[in-house]
Amino acid sequence: MRFIKVVCLASLLSSSFLYSKELQRSPEVRFGSIQEYRKHQALLKSRMSPPSQNPVSKSDLGLQRPVETKEKGFGYHFGFESKVQYSNNPGSSPDTAKIIDSSGIWENSLSNSFLLGAYDMGGASFSPILGLSLSNSKYFGDDSLVVLDSSSLNISFVGIFQFANGWSTRGGLNSSFDFDNSMTQTYRQSAPTIGLSKGFNIGKASAFADLSLSYYLSNTQFEDDKMNRFETALLWGIQIPIGDFEISPYLRLSYANYKEDRSEFTTNTGIDFSYFFYEWLAAKFLISYSNRSASGTEGGGKDFSRLDLGGAISLNAQF
């Protein structure tokens, strides 16, 4: 009788473990590049633009070579965003293994970026930036979604070289740490990255294109280093101001080769509609669509698609 109880208990624990694993959001699917780019450009613009230019601008993309560098060159960016979204695939789960069809997501994020000086190097200017951000996500609409609730800590360091005509290059290191409700670490990854960007203006709009190469070193709660990968990504975005409104479409294409026999092509595209109450405070309507196509021996059944839409209140300021 005791043996039967032990077997039943083991089966129950095993089922719970596997169910939780299936519900875990895909941790390597992150599309924060557009936000990071905007924060960096806003911070650089506030400290390195000509004195006659307003240091806090809603259109913070497409930074041109600074006419002159401010004496101190140090700066600080503070950001906070609270958003509520609907998602038809909250865990970015493979289409063939999706357990939850849809849910609501409430996410709060706090970010800090420190510009550690602006240095004139003759034909270019160099700016090191230290970043620290924290986010918390709560899922609602189904009691089982509590397994997806998580917090993430991100630490980054990047050095940006700016050249004439809007060109810039960078190198840096980004580390992310994910935690569940009990603050147990479920995932971590570190990625050395190099990138090349070009910013330009189209009338009153500002746009950019960015190419990056990254290698991700990862560790998860369920799999050992299987998400280690080399990734090439192309990011494009444009900001179109219309009075107090702003329309910001973007597109990110990436190709990743994993340590295991698996490769993936991922598309993430979206558009933000923003209304600015002040230059530092905005309300947003957000739409994004993501799609992944996987191939290779280990890539079968890992394709997914995801549609998110919702609204946010965003606060951003430079000092």
Alpha carbons 171 and 154: distance in angstroms, whole number: 17
pTM of the model: 0.80
Closest CA to 214 of 174, 265, 160: 174
Look up the CATH number of the domain holding residue 163: 2.40.160.40
Look up residue 303 and give its two tokens: 């394709």
pLDDT of residue 32: 60
CA atoms within 13 A on the CB side of 27: 33
Q: What is the pLDDT along the chain (319 residues), one digit of tens a residue?
A: 443 433 333 333 333 333 444 445 565 566 566 777 777 777 777 655 443 333 334 444 333 444 344 445 788 889 999 999 999 888 777 766 666 678 899 999 999 999 998 888 888 889 999 999 999 999 888 777 787 888 999 999 999 999 988 899 999 999 999 998 888 888 899 999 999 999 988 888 999 999 999 999 988 766 667 788 999 999 999 999 999 999 999 999 999 998 878 899 999 999 999 999 999 999 999 999 999 998 887 766 788 899 999 999 999 988 8
pLDDT of residue 28: 58
The domain of 106 spans 2-318
For the chain, the domain total comes to 1
Alpha carbons 165 and 167: distance in angstroms, whole number: 6
Alpha carbons 92 and 279: distance in angstroms, whole number: 34
Alpha carbons 309 and 284: distance in angstroms, whole number: 11
pLDDT of residue 317: 87
If you count them, how many residues does the chain have?
319
CA atoms within 13 A on the CB side of 59: 26
Residue 48's alpha-carbon distances to 51, 69, 74, in angstroms, are: 9, 5, 9
Name 220's bridge partners: 187
